Amino acid sequence: MENYRHLKNLDQGTAGRVALYLRRQANCSTPEKVVIKRVDLGGADQLQREAFLKEAEILAGLRHPNIVRLLDSFLDESAGGRQLCLVMEYASGGSLSSLLHQQSGLGLSESAVARFACQLLLALEELHSRQVLHRDLKPDNILLASTARDVCKLADFGLAALRQTSPAKDSPAGSSASGLVGTPAYLSPEVFSSDKLATAGREPSDIWALGCCLYEMCCLRRPFDADTLLLLVAQIAAGSWAPLDPRRYSPLMSDLIAKMLKVDPLERPSAAQLLSHPLILSHLFPLLTDLGCVGLKKQRTKKSSRAKLATTVKRLRCRESGNRSLYLFTAGPDQDSHRLSEIAYDLPHEDLRCAKLFSGDCLIGLTKRDRLVRWDRPGGELGQPPCSWFMSDIVGLDNFRVVQLDCGDRFAACLTDAGVVLTFGCGRDGALGHGDVADLERPRVVGSLAQISVTSVACGRRFAACVASSGEVFAWGCLPAAEAGAEVSATFPTLLPMPSGRCRALSVFAGPEALLVAAETEGLQAALLGTGWNRFGRLGLPESARPLLPQLELLPVPLEQPEESVAAASIAGNRCLLLLTSGRLLAAGRGCAAGFGPLRLPNSSLAVGGVCAGSGWALVATKAEAADDDGGRYGELLTLLLEEAGGGDGELRPLLANCRVRSLAADAAGARAAILCRRCRDAGGD
């Protein structure tokens, strides 16, 4: 042991104590971290000791990227006893079990589960081809190679055994593959069945345990679990387990697990057969090229004809459909002083669905593949060339499919397809809803809403709000209090009382110190609720009489048709604009008559498809007759200077020529806006 230095104890493994050591080697100047498992041989007889040593020799010959490698084995008699020491490679990412415990209510994504399944099937195929059985496959014994946690390794072979076609009569107990060993919740039915004892503890038992592990990755619970061993055995023998969530996992994933959890071991596919499953095949080739069994150096090679063809097709598609563009709009005191800054982005395999302003120097985009990306401008004046913005991924959302995004003042909230809310950014005033004011770099599930299915989310300048599927409204952060001039910071989501009369909230819109809720009454009539500061009467009520609405109240909105309702709202510091489903645009606040009224546009026949307002300006996107093949819903983008008196008497000017707008979003201060559009090709262009 003179070449090993003890660092710390790790765990008590199945067959011995486990500790972390530094190993020094003569041919290597840098010591490496290794794990040493000590097996006490004091109570073992000669046959058992030989079995242990033979097992160590077999494992030492395994070389596979998904099996923890046995580096060395020796007998240590320095501590007054005889201990078999197994020197294993160190996996710094922890165990799969610890990764699952860190999940916030939702299992791993299907792609992550499939990637782990590929690696574990490859490991089992290698073991079984060498007649080695693991017999204790569970999340605790699956290690993650690094902190990236994308490569897993099968570990803890304390109960592993050599498969014997006909065990010798004098072979020691536990040396063959038969016998009741392992963790009960992961044991296969044949282990408890006397008529199937011949197949117990063989390859199908490892496949069954892997199926249990995959199920646990998806559901964060075991497929078979009970308070007593008798009930657990009954569940396993029946082979009945709750189905996977169809909203998160495809039928292929359910089929893969069902094949592994066949009650009859003869119907259970082998690891080699499962590697040809459609779900596994879709992840197998990228996995093999990423991992490999030998270290290959990457070399620069010329582009293949196939790669060149893909590049050519991509360019032709871009030329045919037009270029995607992202702009930062900065309002000026008049029409001539408005500025546009183009932000270059390159997403070769996907496109953006919307973009929001996180701060004056940061934008966040939601892609069509439900991924979040961000652009940061290190410094300098607005209007810098596109190369001054830097794009990066927002990590921590691998297990979620984001469908909605909104931003406040340096914080953001996103909603998943499963109705889960995640927040990140600046935690001032409790705006993240986690019960504190700590900042978060990575998105985290709002725990208080974990049991609630959320359908809509929005962020104000210093608060956020959401609507539950039950029609209730929750808000957190800096909220207006019942007394004028006071503020309350709710660090956890707080249920907002609804006005008298039964109303059901549908969607929520937020702005500086104000919240609007599109709702429907008990008679299915459209309604608009509001709360917050009523500056300049922007909430549709006289400011002199109602400067503050401390609770949600029914707001007067003139709806001309029974089916007309509020489709979108943009709240600025001194004004509020409502876009109705009919395409009409209503306004309230500074320069407008009392209450919500039609915004006087220079072109009265203009059909509005989208709107975004700040203090003294508005961006208006015309309504397209039909969505194009790129998903654009709006047509031409126009700017309108909202005068301090007279509402929309200012001139309506084109802002971007030959563009189809995808999304518009103002920042929390109402000074800037993010514009996502597609620059269409001129009719006379080449």
**Cα(first)–Cα(last) distance of the chain, in Å?**
75
CA–CA dist 206, 138 (Å, integer): 10
Nearest residue to 161 via CA among 14, 260, 264 = 14
* Parallel, antiparallel or unpaired: strands 411-416 and 421-425: antiparallel
How many CB atoms lie under 10 A from the CB of residue 159? Answer: 19
Q: Is 315 exposed, middle or buried (0-12, 13-18, 19+ CB in 10 A)?
A: exposed
Give a three-class secondary structure readout of 423-487.
Answer: EEECCHHHCCCCCCCCCEEEEEECHHHCCCCEEEEEECCCEEEEEECCCCEEEEEEEECCCCCCE
CA–CA dist 82, 645 (Å, integer): 93
For residue 29, what are the contacts with CB-CB under 8 A and spacing of at least 6?
none
- Which SS3 state, helix, strand or coil, does residue 627 take? coil
CA trace torsion 522, 523, 526, 530 (10° rounding): -30
CA–CA dist 431, 465 (Å, integer): 10
| Choice among 72, 136, 361, 370 that is catalytic | 136
Q: Is 342 exposed, middle or buried (0-12, 13-18, 19+ CB in 10 A)?
A: middle
Q: How long a stretch of residues is the chain? A: 686
Q: 375-379: which pairs have CB atoms within 8 A and are 24 or more residues apart?
A: 375/326, 375/343, 375/345
Sign of CA dihedral 431, 432, 433, 438: negative
Q: Annotated catalytic, 376?
A: no
> Do 15 and 37 touch, CB atoms closer than 8 A?
yes
Encode 227-249: b = buried (16+ Cβ within 10 Å), e = exposed: eeeeebbebbeebebeebeeebb
Active site amino acids: 136
